[in-house]
Structure 1
Amino acid sequence: MQAAAPGRATGTFVGKKVEAMSQDLGKLKGAVGRLDTRMREIRADTTDATQRYLNILAAMNSKLQVGTTPGNPVLVQQWNEAQQQLKRIETNIARMNSLSNDAGAEASVAGYLLDSVRATFTLSGAVDEDHVQLRALEDEVNQSVVTIDRLLNELSDDLNRQTSHLASERRNLTAMSISIKNGERYGSSLMNRALAQAEVKASMAARRPLSPDSRPLVVIRFDRPNVQFEQALYDAVSRALDRKPETAVDLVAVHPKVGSSAQVILNSTAARRNAENVLRALVEMGLPATRVNMTSMPSAAAQSNEVRVYVR
C-alpha cells in the first residue's frame, strides 16, 4: 500500500497538520502492508504443514488397513513426523495470535488518525485547498480502517478453524498410536465421533436467533488492561454443560455508542477483538467453535467494552 501523495503545500497551520497526518498515514499503510505479508506467510506455512500431515496420515492409514507388525518402526517414525507437522500448526496459531494483537494495535492507530483528521476540519485559518486535502486524507484513512478490519476478521476465522482442526487431529493421532502399537487400524478417535453427534444438535441450536429476553450467563467487562476472565468463564460454561451437554454459546461484543464516529469505530473493533479472545479461550477449553455464535452491537448504556456470554 502506498502513502497518499501530498497535495500542494498551503503554508497554513491546517496545511502543516495535513502534511504531518499524511506522513502518519504513510507509516500506517506501511505497517498494514507488513501485517498482510505476515498473514500470507503464516497461511502458506500452515497450508504446507497441513498437506504434509495429511499425506503422512494417509500413508499410515494405508499401511494399517492391510495389516502390519505391531509397533512397526516405519509407522512409529511417520507418527513422529505427523506430530512435528501438528507442532508447526500450533506454532502458526501462536503467530496468528501475535499478528492479531499487532493488527489490533494498528486499528487503534487508524482510529486515532481518523479522529484527528475529522477534528482538523473544525480548525480555523484553513483555505479551500486544505479541506480538499483533508477529504482525500479522510478517504484513505477510512480505506486503511476497512483493510485492518478485514484482516482482523480473516485472522479470527483462521484462528478458530486451525484451533479446532488441531484439537481434533491430536485426538486422531492419539488413536493412531494405539493402532500402530497393535498393528491394525481402529479408525478415528472415539471422542471425535461422539463429539460429532453432539455437534449436529449444538450447531443447529447456535444458528437460531438469540431471544431478546435472554439474560447473559456471564458479562466480561474490558474496562482495564489484561482482564483475567478465563477461570470464571470456564466455571460458568462447565456448569451449563453439566446441565445440558449440547449447550450452544452466543458471544455478543458490546461497545459504547458514545463519542465521535471514529471513536465508535475504534470501540467496535476493540470489542470484537475481545469477543474473539473469549471465543479462542472457549475453543482452547475444549468447546468446539461450531457451538459458538458471535455478534456485536452498540449500547448507549455500556460504560466500557464488554462481552456478554449467553447459553442455550
Structure 2
Amino acid sequence: MAHFVRNPAPRRLGMAAAGVWAAGLLLSGCSYVSDELWPSLTGEDPAGSPPAPMAQQIPASPAEANPQPTLSPPTMGSTNFVVPGVTPGQATGTFVGQKVQQMRGELAQLQQQVTQRNQALQNVRNQATQNSQRYHGLVAAVSTRLQMGTTPGNPILISQWNQAQTQLDQMAADVNQLSSLGNQVAADSAMATYLLQSIKSTYSLSGAIDEDHRQLAVLEDETAKTVVLIDRLLGELSQDVARQTNYIGSERTNLTTLSAAIKQGELLGPALGNRATYFAGAQQFAAADTAMPVSTDGRTPLVVIRFDRADVPYQQALYNAVSQALARKPNAMFDVVAVAAGGSQAQAASNQNQARRNADRVLRSLADMGLPASRVNVAAASNAQSAANEVHVFVR
C-alpha cells in the first residue's frame, strides 16, 4: 500500500529528521512536497515598502478594444482509430498452442470492441460539430440583432435564445456521451494490458514447440500495437471531454450575459470573466506548441510517483498537490517527466517505453482533473540508480 509523506516545516527539520523524511520519500509509492517548502508569494519586504509607482496609462490591445470578441469552440480530435488486426495461426496440438489460440480469440474480441468504440466516437464528434454550428448560428443572429438595436425583451430574440440554450444542452449531452465512452475505453485498456502480460507469461510454460513461440511473438506484437492504439484513443477522449466541458461552462456564462442584453435591448458583449480566460488560453496554447525539453537539474519535484506495482493509487495525492500549487500560483505551468529505471540495454529500452506510458497515464489523469493540456509540458529522463520507473511532476 502506498504511503503519502508530507514534509514538515523546514525550520523544524534536524539532521536526523531530514534523513528519516528522505528514506520515507524513497520508500513511498507516491509523495508530494508540502506548501511549507514553497517560497512565500505574499510576504512583505523586510526593508519596508517602496514608494508606489506613478500610474501609467497602457493602451488597450486590438483584442481588448474589440467590443465583441469571439473565440471558436475548441477543436476536437480527428483521429480515426483502426485496429491492427489479428494474424490467424494453425493449431499445434500442445497445451501452449491451445493457450495461444485462446488469447488470439480474446485479442480479436477486444479489437472488435475497440472498433465499435471508434465508430461511436466518430458519431459523437459529428453530432457535436452539428450542435455547435447550430448553437453559434443562433448566438450570432441574436448578437447581430442586438448590435443593430432592437426593443427591450424582443420576443423573437427570446425565442432564439431559448433555442440556443437547448443546443447548448445538446452539446453538454454530447460531452456526457464522450465521458461514458471514455469509461468503456478505460476498461478496454485494462483488458489489453492484462492480455499482454498473459502473453509474456506464456513464454515460460513448458511443453512448447518452436511454432508456439513464433505464434506467441506475432500475437505479442499485435497486442502491443493494440495497447498503444487504445492509449491514444483514451488520451484524445480525455482531452475532448476536458476542453468541451470548460468551453460549455464558459458559454453558459455568456448566455446569461446575453439574456440580460436581450432584456435591455442592446449588446453587452461576452462575460468579462471569460474574456481573460479566452485570451490567456490562446497565449498558453501558443507557448505549449514551442515548449522545449525539460531539465530537472536542481529542481525539487512537486510529486514523485513510483510505478513499482500494477496499480499505484496516485490520483488523490496528485490532485491535492496540483490544487495547492494552483492556489499559490493560479497561472502555474507543470512539467511531467518520465524517469526510466536502469538495467541492461534491453531492459533500459523497455523501461523507457514503460516510463513514457506511465507519463501518458499521469497526463490523462491531469486532463480528467480539468487541467488544460496547454499548461503541461512533457519530457523524458533516466536514472540508472532507480529500481523502478517513476514520473516526476514539477511546477514552474
TM-score by length of 1: 0.80
Deviates further, 49-58 or 90-99 = 90-99
Instruction: Look up the match of 1:244.
Output: none
Instruction: Look up the match of 2:367.
Output: 279
Q: 1:127 aligns with which of 209, 220, 233?
A: 209
Structure 2 vs 1, CA of residues 93 and 215 (structure 1 numbering), >3 Å: closer, same or farther?
A: farther
* C-alpha separation in 1, matches of 2:291 and 2:374: 11
* Contact 2:302–2:321, Cα closer than 8 Å, also in 1: no
Letter in 1 for 2:365: N
* Contact 1:202–1:248, Cα closer than 8 Å, also in 2: no
Q: 1:167 aligns with which of 236, 249, 253?
A: 249
Structure 2 vs 1, CA of residues 181 and 278 (structure 1 numbering), >3 Å: closer, same or farther?
A: same
Structure 2 vs 1, CA of residues 7 and 238 (structure 1 numbering), >3 Å: closer, same or farther?
A: same
The C-alpha deviation readout for 1:162-188, integer Å capped at 9, x for no partner, is: 233223322322221221111111222
**1:12-27 alignment to 2 at 5 Å?**
12-27=94-109
The yes-or-no answer on 1:239 pairing with 2:328 is yes
Give the 3-state SS of the residue equivalent to 1:188 in structure 2.
coil
The C-alpha deviation readout for 1:266-312, integer Å capped at 9, x for no partner, is: 775465234323234244xxxxx26512426476648687662x333
The yes-or-no answer on 1:77 pairing with 2:155 is no
Residue 16 of structure 1, CA deviation: 0.8
* C-alpha separation in 2, matches of 1:226 and 1:85: 34
* Contact 1:256–1:298, Cα closer than 8 Å, also in 2: yes
* Contact 1:248–1:291, Cα closer than 8 Å, also in 2: no
The yes-or-no answer on 1:7 pairing with 2:89 is yes
Residue 70 of structure 1, CA deviation: 0.9
TM-score by length of 2: 0.65
* Contact 2:100–2:212, Cα closer than 8 Å, also in 1: yes
Letter in 2 for 1:224: P
Give the 3-state SS of the residue equivalent to 1:122 in structure 2.
coil
* C-alpha separation in 1, matches of 2:317 and 2:272: 34
Structure 2 vs 1, CA of residues 307 and 204 (structure 1 numbering), >3 Å: closer, same or farther?
A: same
How many residue pairs align between the two structures?
301
Q: 1:39 aligns with which of 117, 121, 125?
A: 121
Residue 208 of structure 1, CA deviation: 4.3
Deviates further, 155-164 or 257-266 = 257-266
* C-alpha separation in 2, matches of 1:279 and 1:249: 14
* C-alpha separation in 2, matches of 1:27 and 1:307: 36
Structure 2: 5+ residue runs without aligned partners? 1-82
Letter in 2 for 1:123: L
Residue 54 of structure 1, CA deviation: 1.0
* Contact 2:86–2:222, Cα closer than 8 Å, also in 1: yes
Residue 18 of structure 1, CA deviation: 0.8
Give the 3-state SS of the residue equivalent to 1:227 in structure 2.
helix
Letter in 2 for 1:293: V
Residue 152 of structure 1, CA deviation: 1.8
Letter in 2 for 1:295: V
* C-alpha separation in 2, matches of 1:302 and 1:74: 68
Q: What CA RMSD, in Å, does the superposition of the two structures yield over aligned residues?
A: 3.3
Residue 218 of structure 1, CA deviation: 4.8
* C-alpha separation in 2, matches of 1:253 and 1:85: 40
The yes-or-no answer on 1:50 pairing with 2:132 is yes
Structure 2 vs 1, CA of residues 290 and 103 (structure 1 numbering), >3 Å: closer, same or farther?
A: closer
Structure 1: 5+ residue runs without aligned partners? 242-246, 284-288
Letter in 2 for 1:107: S
* C-alpha separation in 2, matches of 1:68 and 1:271: 54
Instruction: Look up the match of 2:378.
Output: 295
> Which has the greater radius of gyration?
2
* C-alpha separation in 1, matches of 2:362 and 2:149: 49
Q: 1:224 aligns with which of 289, 295, 313?
A: 313
Identify the structure with the greater helix proportion: 1
Residue 72 of structure 1, CA deviation: 1.5
* Contact 2:334–2:376, Cα closer than 8 Å, also in 1: yes
Q: 1:215 aligns with which of 300, 303, 318?
A: 300
Q: Percentage identity across aligned positions?
A: 39
Give the 3-state SS of the residue equivalent to 2:316 in structure 1.
coil
Deviates further, 8-17 or 144-153 = 144-153
Letter in 2 for 1:31: Q
Residue 255 of structure 1, CA deviation: 7.3
The C-alpha deviation readout for 1:14-57, integer Å capped at 9, x for no partner, is: 11111111111122112211211221122122112111111111
